[in-house]
Structure 1
Amino acid sequence: MHTLEIVLLVLMFGAASGLLARYVKFIPLPLLQIALGCALSWPQAGLHIGFDPELFLMLFIPPLLFADGWRIPKREFFALHRPILRLALGLVFFTVIGLGYFIHWLIPSMPMPVAFALAAVLSPTDAVAVSAITRNLGMPTKTMHILEGESLLNDASGLVALKFAVAAAMTGAFSWMEVGRSFAWIAIGGVVVGALLGWAFGYVRNLVTRRIGDTVSTQMVLLLLLLPFAAYIMGERLGVSGILAAVAAGIATNFTDLDRGRFVTERMQSNDAWEMVESAFNGAIFLLLGIQLPTLIREAEGRSDYNWWQLAGLIVAITVVAMLLRAIWLHIGVQGALRKVYHKGALGHNPTFLLTALATVAGIRGAVTLAGALSIPLLLPSGQAFPSRDLVVMLAAGVIITTLLIGSVGLPWILHKMPAVKEHATDREERHARVAACHAALVALQAEEAAPGSSGEQALRAAVLGRVAQDYRERLNALDDTSDPDLVKLRERVQHGKTLELDMGLRLKGVQAEREEIYRLRRKHLINDDSLRRLVSELDLAEVAINRRMEAAQLNRQVAEAALEEARRNEAEQTQSTPAIGSGANTPAHTEKQTTVSSAASGADLMAPDVGIQDSRH
């Protein structure tokens, strides 16, 4: 089968696996894609793909790491930098050394540099796989931010460590002092090159689009998609880490995006394009792993002294030791930093045994591990085969599958045992932002009242402004504060939420009816395709906005209902425990009731204090 046909087939099955995962929800998407890949390569007459290691690394890794750097929440990344850096740098070093020596002891025929290369390949973790497993299971938000930050940086640090290990295997020379100096130069240089390139791209993009507007959005999105490859190639040509350059370019580009609020078309196209690229590349990597797996097993059995069961035992032993090293480092190297950020309020859970167990099981290996293993050269400079390469790739693939299986079972079980966080910071700040945005809109509308014009124009403007302002006031009513213990106000907020949900639902039905009518007109040949695309695009954007507002209204209504229910329960308890009238204990009990209800409601509140709203007005 030709290479082009194989590429198209992999992309097609990658998309199909995403659809299938919607129905087979108990199997994580990466495992499903690996299984599909194995099915495609079975029997021996099935697909087989040969890789150019350098081309594979350059094709898959830069866009995935750039996207991670572009999307990661920067505020949380810097607020949680201590535990993230200790995991991304300290744990990688700890894993490479500890696991490397263990692998060499376990497999004496594997040279020490190759054992270190395998350990380096196994050091990066995959937060995307963790997110896929824990979706809708109540994964603590801040814990997920730490895992995402770790995954972003240990992908880079692990692959840089792999580069040194492979160089030692290729040349036979190794010096810790030289490695330390080279690592510092390569890492710092890669970050600087990537950051400068990302900043330069952002500066030129802002300069161009501010002069000619959003009309070149398609070209800008294409350049953005090519930016990670440019950063990687430039870094490698300059003798620094192209991987870190791609990461730094993604982070720098995200910062330049903060000044591009009015370029709506480009932003929407960029988000859609990157979602497609990430989905296609992640899916392709796991499908390729499945396609390669039967061949890897046969070659590992044929070129080593191990049978299938012995290979399985090696995989289990390496996985157990890797997880044990992670648990040890979490306890001795990270728990102190977690405790500090917890006391500062930057972490929702106290670092207990369960949190350590959660972070340990979340050390799933994924796409970067496979890409790193497949990037190992086929031949030494002498022309001989790279020692134990097939065994390295086979063991790496086995550890990926094993950690995915452990995570699929262990993560839901641990999350079920963990206490729920009462206050959801992300929901609260989103609600605060919605309130602040509504107030800003009302201030802008008030400024429009003073616009000059004839008496007729001013009357028309006043009528329209009144209707628009009323819409914003109704949204503010639905976002009202739940920290007030007044049951009447809580009931009003629940009612406002239901009203807003009904309003959004009716608007949605109207938009859907409009779309059906437009398609009917096209089927009757009363409008052409150009008109169809323009009109449907308008309705699609309107439906997306309505759905987002409906989700927000549902969340706010649920929070208000929870606060109202807790307030009623506390009031009933206080009524039962209050002495008879005239006993003189009524006033303290009433005070205690108000304090209890206020505390309970504020725990479920999703809005910041009024001070923040006042600040947003100015």
Structure 2
Amino acid sequence: MEILVIGVFALMAIATATAVSPKVGIAAPLILVALGFGASLLPFMPAVEVDPEVILAGVLPPLLFAAGASIPATDFRREFRSISGLSVILTILSTLVLGAFFHWLIDDLSWPWAFALGAIVSPSDPVATAIIKRLGVSPRMVSLLEGESLLNDACALVLLRGAVAAAAAAVTVGDIALEFILAMTVAVIIGIIVGRLNLWVSNRMSDTTANTVFTLAVPFVASIPAEAVGASGLVAAVVCGLVTGNGSAKALSPQVRQSDTQTWHAIELILEGVVYLIVGLEIVAVVREVQEKHEGVGFAFAAAMATIVLVLILRALFIAPLLAAQARRARRAAALRPRLADLRERLGDPATHAAAIHEVAQHVGALSARRLRKGEVSHDHVSRHLTKAEADIGYLVKAPLGPREGAVMVWAGMRGVVTVAAAQTLPTDTPDRALLVLIAYIVAVGSLVIQGGTVRWVVQWLKPSRGVSAQDAAEERGALHDFLEGAVERAGGEEALGGRVGVIEAKRDALIDARGLGIFSSALLSSTLDALDAEQIRLEL
């Protein structure tokens, strides 16, 4: 009965916080932490203790799968270099620096446990990142923050696993590095396999309800085998989500996609809310334990505040050169435009056609070079490569990220669910475990309160780029409309396509092709695809 009462309270609290959040201007996670804290003070509320493995193995895989499925694959590809830097290199550097800080700050805390706490508080939070999305900042900034939060969780947890192993046995830095590489590589392979298998099965499952039930198991089908072989289950879930999201438009019916979208939105809402409620419900017990064993919580609070400041400094020191490198990349890309235009012109001239194909194909990669030698590289293949390169350049030039955007990215790097869950996984015999857990809790909640509670004002003050202008957006919508109408005409028109559904399917195929080339913004392509799906469902009812 106690579990039932807590479950009912959780569902009502999550719904209330989500509905109230926009009206009061406070992020829903903060409201849920406060509700959980208040509920824990009630005399009839039983003590809540949640096994951290429930969060790491049962909550995070579906959350990260859903986030991976929703991020545009084209934007992820374009920003992969920067995302890798933020999610891997910055996480490793933060773990090392913060580990040294904790070793110096806390008496008798060994290096392995100091690095373990450093890994716990290093990753930014995928749930907290949702706060910045609602403020209408540049879609490119959102892609970077989302991509970072997808992968740095897994990176931090692998580092945490290595630090705990080092505390228990003689483990070298080389051993941890090798485990890290293997854990990531194997997880990526498993995620790709499961993602493609998911699309294959879902494409052959005609019952929408049955398919929805099947997709609920997919994140675990990816994460459980990965964990069983020592890889990262979270990376496997993320990659599986990316593969599923990128292939769903082509492999799944509109009914299945719409059902999956609605289902996963509800699941995300519930799972995110449950984690923050757990933080609020458990924090009182953690504080009491620290008070009993460490003579008050003042030290933990001061250590957590210093950690938040250090994290922001490290983040700023990393993001500044990262954006400078992006600016140089954009300038180099813009300088390539005349060359691409020349190649495009030579490609259309019979006299220079063959030489142009050879020059472009040399830059496509080893596979195309082999195809070139065999005479398998066609005019269409080369033309598409040029179109893709031109679109990538346009993406870099149209949406530059400067100091204002960088400052917002620094402030938006909040800690949250993963930090809380990772702290709970510390073994029970960890020295000063209650103190370490409380520091992690305060860092997570404090960053959400301080950064999450003020990020709206920071955005209003800094006025970062909101993306393309209204005029550019209108022109892009017009260009996409013409592109889709042209696709219908090339297919022979509505009569040749057999009716309105045939036209919709022709437009959808054109949208998928445009997404692969990157010639329109991901947000516009996604909204247009949703509109086509809704129209087809209406016609088929």
* TM-score, with structure 2 as normaliser: 0.75
Relative to structure 1, the CA distance from residue 450 to residue 371 in structure 2 (aligned partners, 3 Å threshold; closer, same or farther) is closer
1:413-492 mapped onto 2 (5 Å cutoff): 413-416=457-460, 417-418=462-463, 420=465, 423-424=468-469, 429=476, 431-440=478-487, 446-448=493-495
User: Would the aligned equivalents of 2:124 and 2:415 in 1 still touch at CA under 8 Å?
Assistant: yes
Let me know the Cα RMSD of the aligned residues.
3.1
Which of 159, 173, 191 is residue 161 of structure 1 equivalent to?
Answer: 159
SS of alignment partner, residue 444 of structure 2: helix
Task: Find the counterpart in structure 1 of residue 312 from structure 2.
Answer: 323
User: The residue matched to 2:414 in structure 1 has which SS?
Assistant: coil
2:414 corresponds to which of 351, 364, 371: 364
Unpaired runs of 5+ residues, structure 1, are 379-384, 452-460, 473-540, 546-618
Deviation at 1:219, TM superposition (A): 1.1
Which structure has the greater CA radius of gyration? 1
Report the Cα offset of residue 447 of structure 1: 4.6
After superposition, the C-alpha distances for 1:352-408 in whole angstroms (9 at most, x for unaligned) are: 332322111111012122122222233xxxxxx222222222111111122122323
Match of 1:246 in 2: 237
Indicate the residue corresponding to 2:33 in structure 1.
34
Matching residue's letter, 2:421: A
Structure 2 contact 405–465 (Cα < 8 Å) conserved: no
Query: Mapping of 1:60-75 within 5 angstroms?
Result: 60-75=59-74
Sort the Cα spacing of 1:352 and 1:255 in 2 relative to 1 into closer, same or farther, 3 A.
closer
Shift of 1:283: 0.6
User: Which residue of the partner structure matches residue 395 of structure 2?
Assistant: 346
Q: Distance in 2 between matches of 1:226 and 1:388?
A: 37
Compare relative contact order (CA 8 Å, sep 6+) and give the higher one, 1 or 2: 2
Name the aligned partner's letter for residue 274 of structure 1. W
2:124 is aligned to 125
Match of residue 425 from structure 2: 375
How much does 1:332 deviate? 3.8
State whether residues 80 and 341 of structure 1, in contact with CA within 8 Å, keep that contact through their aligned partners in structure 2.
Answer: no
Aligned length: 447
Match of 1:393 in 2: 437
Q: 1:338 to 1:297 in 2, by over 3 A?
A: farther
Given that 1:361 and 1:410 are in contact with CA atoms closer than 8 Å, whether structure 2 keeps it comes out as: no
Residue 174 (structure 1) shift: 2.8
Matched, 1:272 2:240: no
Find the counterpart in structure 2 of residue 187 from structure 1: 184
1:92-120 CA distance string (max 9 Å, x none): 01000001110111112333222211211
Inter-partner Cα distance in structure 1 for 2:187 and 2:226: 6
Change (3 A) 1:449 1:274: closer
Task: Find the aligned partners of 1:114 and 1:421 in 2 and give their Cα distance.
Answer: 42
| Counterpart amino acid of residue 435 in structure 2 | L
Residue matched to 1:226: 217
**Is residue 2:11 matched to residue 1:16?**
no
Aligned partners of 1:400, 1:54: CA distance in 2, in Å? 18
How much does 1:441 deviate? 5.2
Structure 1 residue 336, shift from structure 2 partner: 1.4
Does residue 403 of the first structure (1) align with residue 403 of the second (2)?
no
Name the aligned partner's letter for residue 377 of structure 1: P
**1:131 and 1:53 mapped to 2: Cα distance?**
23
The answer for the alignment partner of 1:199 in structure 2 is 196
Percent of aligned pairs with the same amino acid: 31
TM-score for the superposition, normalised by structure 1: 0.67
Distance 1:422 1:59 in 2: 36
Q: Following superposition of structure 1 onto structure 2, how do residues 253-268 of structure 1 map, counting pairs within 5 Å?
A: 253-260=244-251, 263-268=253-258
Deviation at 1:318, TM superposition (A): 0.9
Looking at structure 2, the residues matched to 426 and 174 of structure 1 have their Cα atoms a distance apart, in angstroms, of: 55
Cα gap change, 1:280 to 1:338, in 2 (>3 Å)? farther
Distance 1:148 1:253 in 2: 17
Give CA-to-partner distance per residue, 1:10-38, whole Å, 9 cap, x none.
223112211222432x2111111111111
How do 1:290-301 and structure 2 match up within 5 A?
290-301=280-291
Alpha-carbon distance, 1:255 to partner? 3.0
Give 5+ residue unaligned stretches, structure 2. 334-393, 508-533
Residue number in structure 2 paired with 1:534: none
Moved more, 243-252 or 103-112: 103-112
Q: Which residue of 2 aligns with 1:7?
A: 7
The Cα offsets for residues 193-226 of structure 1, whole Å up to 9 and x where unpaired, read as 12112112222332x24xxxx3x11111111111
Contact 1:339/1:350, CA 8 A, preserved across alignment: no
Offset, 1:81: 1.2
Kindly provide the amino acid, as one letter, of the partner of residue 16 in structure 2: A
Residue aligning to 1:289: 279
Tell me what 1:148 maps to: 146
